[in-house]
Chains A and B, each alone.
Chain A
Amino acid sequence: MGIFKKKKEPVYFRGSDASVAQAFGHGDKITRLSFLIFGLGNIINKQIARGVIFLAMEIAYFVYLFDFGIGAIGNFITLGTVEQGQVYNEALGIYEYSTGDNSMLCLLYGVITILLTFAIIFVGCMSGKSAYATQFRKERGQHIPTFKDDLASLKEENIHSFFLALPITGIVVFTIVPLVFMILIAFTSYDHEHQPPGNLFEWVGLQNFSAMFSQGSKLAATFWPVLSWTLIWAVLATSTCYILGLLLALLINRKGTRCKGFWRFMFVLSVAVPQFVTLLSMRTIFNANGPVNVLLRDFGIIGATESIPFFTNPLYAKITIICINIWIGVPFTMLSTTGILQNIPAELYEAAKIDGASAPTIFRKITLPYMVFIMTPNLITSFTGNINNFNVIFLLSGGGPDSLDYYYAGKTDLLVTWLYRLTITQKDYNLGAVIGILVFIILAVVSLATYRHTGSYKDEGAFQ
């Protein structure tokens, strides 16, 4: 860091260094006006290109707003008022559909308009701060950066904006907008009886949440068992894979084991095969007439016409899925732990030996803490990954066997596969969104509670 301290006088005072309040408080009239008329301070001080860009953004926003945005906000509040109707066309002698409002699109455009408004407020703050920075430099007789300087700064002190611009746009469009949209759906009546464009749906407040938790309703009778199975599944799947995988890695890495590479290869093979291939073939292998049942019949363990209901009996299905998941997950853990086991710095061990530490002490004091330091985030991600483990359940059992006591769910459905059924098959988007929010809350509680206490979050730079 030493080299930066030599530059005592800041070369540029950057707008982003001042807070909005500072800029507004210390700024002159033109700076303050720049919060309303974007780019004003820049244009007056000959930063034409920068100012024009700010101004163009503002003009574009207001054109959008008056052309479309205000209507969109209105529709967002009502979610549409004109229902699609049938009008008798006398000339043709048929009923025609009159176009009604599409609640879904009203909601979507509303979300987009609100986000754009936030964005333009942010741009306005930037414009004000930028005007203040220019004023600040002018007062001190410092060089006012030209547009060329601005572009050059993208390679140096503003390189993060340059690098993050595109990825963040992608994240906003493909993750944040859809997410906000789906969260809002949880507060509407967008279910199978209110499907746009034929029908309108409306805001219903917390009604969907209360339906999910109200005593004695079919939804609540589905939610709690599905939730408990999700948690049992996540704990079992994560712990079995981690413990067995670590044991396997230790077994292969022990001194006495010969042909380590060969054994590792045998297990890596199953990781290398694409997961959906293994899952789909496992499904056929454990089918009622699949090879496992055929083998059992051949050995006379079950009768010639009998078959073990691997996926059709609830308890068997759960056990089968966890076993298959062990088959899939153990080699993964084996792989990642092998690398880490081998990379524990040798000096640590040497130092411990010189101090006369015994093997168990070395394991307890060096190997284990090291593994925990590296693997805790890993364990948390695999736990949350298992709560959201759509593929394994969907491709193996499809959530089945179905249960009549449940609201469109099966005995092995996780919350996420139930979400899938509710939205894709059942078209109850509002209920699906409620499940999504609940899953989020569970994950947030679990991971924030644990993740923030791990060494690798608190001390990212431990190995830097």
Chain B
Amino acid sequence: MKVKRFVTNTACHILLAILSFIWVLPIFYVVLTSFRKEGGSYKSYIWPRGYTLDNYINLFNGNSNVNFPRWFANTLVIAIFSTVISAFFVLCVSYVMSRLRFKMRKTFLNIALILGMFPGFMSMIAVYYILKGLGFLETGVLKQVALVLVYSGGAGLGFYMAKGFFDTIPKSIDEAAYIDGATKWDTFIHVTIPMSKPIITYTLLTSFMGPWVDYIFAKVIMGNDTPYYTIAIGLWTMLEKEYVEYYYTQFYAGCVVISIPIAILFLLTQKCYVEGVTGAVKG
């Protein structure tokens, strides 16, 4: 019995080791290439012949075509604004859908479900023309405002996760507050919000990461306005045929640079994610 258990345990650990090797390998390759000294794109060998920090240094000395620091700042600003707006929208809608009962509620839930089934960028062309009609695509800065609106405008539909969280807060807590004479608004501000830190953090985080990883909307709205690009389309540009020979290693450096802060944010808020998925008050 003991031998058998030892064998299974060892087998499991070996399996885990192999699997995690597979999972870490590509990340390791990205980091490795970002320090590669030789320029050019694909090489006929794996291990770089020399190592250097120049890829990172050059990355931050942006030029007019590939201006990494500027793209970084653009994305940061867009991310902050759209985070605030969309987190506000998501919390409002999910709270209402979870805690309040009113006439149109089921209708709204069903409409939200149906809207979620259309491919997201099917409406993209129309959004593009609406923004154009409103004059948002005239200058680069306005395009950035437009991008914020696009990221946060329809955010109210992404309420499922937060609603699931609010659903787990016992109703009796709200009722206790009503008995003490609180209005629904008071209850929301003073009772529900303080109990919902995990889900608020989660909502903020996911909306913050959106602009960093979205490619398609940013590309359609920005077009060829390179200085106003966000990180994602910027990095994509570096892999295009006319740039790839020169920027291949810098592309990897750029990947590392933006992955680190996002990875840290992600790991720090893992707890919030797990708590957010599984509810507020544990029995």
Q: Chain A: residues with CB nearer than 8 A to chain B? A: 1, 3, 16, 104-105, 108, 155-157, 159-160, 163-164, 166-168, 170-171, 173-179, 181-182, 248, 251-252, 254, 256-258, 263, 266-278, 280-282, 284-285, 287, 289-291, 294-295, 297-298, 327, 331, 335-336, 338-340, 343, 345, 347, 377, 381, 384, 388, 390-391, 394-395, 415-416, 419-420, 423-424, 429, 432-433, 436, 439-440, 443-444, 447, 451, 460-461, 463-464
Contacts and interface: CB of A to CB of B under 8 A. Distances in A.
Question: Which 5 pairs, one residue from A and one from B, show the smallest C-beta to C-beta distance?
Answer: A167-B156, A174-B153, A178-B126, A178-B123, A272-B263
A252 B16 contact: yes
Contact of B153 (A3, A170, A285): A170
A395 B93 contact: no
Contacts, number: 259
A364 B206 CA distance: 34
B167 A463 contact: yes
Given A156-B183, A160-B100, A267 B92 contact: no
B213 A275 contact: yes
A104 B132 CA distance: 12
Contacts of B53: none
Contacts of B120: 388, 390
Contact of A163 (B93, B114, B117, B125): B93
Given A263-B20, A339-B274, A343-B278, A276 B5 contact: no
Contacts of B96: 159-160, 163-164
A266 B20 contact: yes
Nearest to B20: A266
Given A159-B185, A464-B167, A171 B154 contact: yes
Interface in B254-283: 255, 258-259, 262-263, 266-267, 270, 273-274, 277-279, 282-283
B246 interface: no
Interface in B114-147: 114-127, 129-130, 133
A464 to B, nearest CB: 6
Nearest to A451: B113
B113 A104 contact: no
Given A266-B23, A269-B263, A182 B29 contact: no
Contact of A269 (B16, B24, B95, B274): B24
B235 interface: yes
Interface string B96-120: 1000101101001000011111111
B12 interface: yes
Given A159-B184, A182-B122, A108 B20 contact: no
B127 A174 contact: yes
B267 A285 contact: no
B122 A273 contact: no
Interface in B195-231: 209, 212-213, 215-216, 220
Contact of A281 (B29, B89, B262, B282): B29
B contacts with A: majority SS? helix
Interface string B35-61: 000000011111000000000000000
Contact of A432 (B5, B103, B122, B258): B122
B212 to A, nearest CB: 6
Given A159-B100, A182-B126, 7 more contacts: A108-B130, A156-B184, A170-B154, A179-B123, A254-B12, A432-B122, A463-B167
B93 A167 contact: yes
B149 interface: yes
A444 B12 contact: no
Nearest to B175: A3
Contacts of A104: 129
Contacts of B152: 170
B157 A463 contact: no
Contacts of A345: 283
Contact of A175 (B22, B24, B157, B236): B157
B126 A177 contact: yes
16 contacts: A156-B183, A156-B185, A166-B88, A167-B155, A173-B130, A181-B126, A267-B19, A268-B267, A269-B263, A276-B213, A276-B236, A295-B46, A384-B117, A391-B215, A451-B113, A464-B170
B191 interface: no
Interface in B6-22: 8-9, 12-13, 15-16, 19-20, 22
Contacts of A3: 175, 178-179
Nearest to A4: B178
Tell me which of A3, A175, A291, A447 has the highest count of chain B C-beta atoms within 10 A of its own C-beta.
A175
B16 A273 contact: no
B76 interface: no
A15 B30 CA distance: 63
A254 B11 CA distance: 13
B232 interface: yes
Contact of B235 (A173, A182, A280, A289): A280
A345 B281 CA distance: 12
B80 interface: no
A281 B32 CA distance: 12
B65 interface: no
A171 B129 contact: no
Contact of A248 (B19, B46, B168, B251): B19
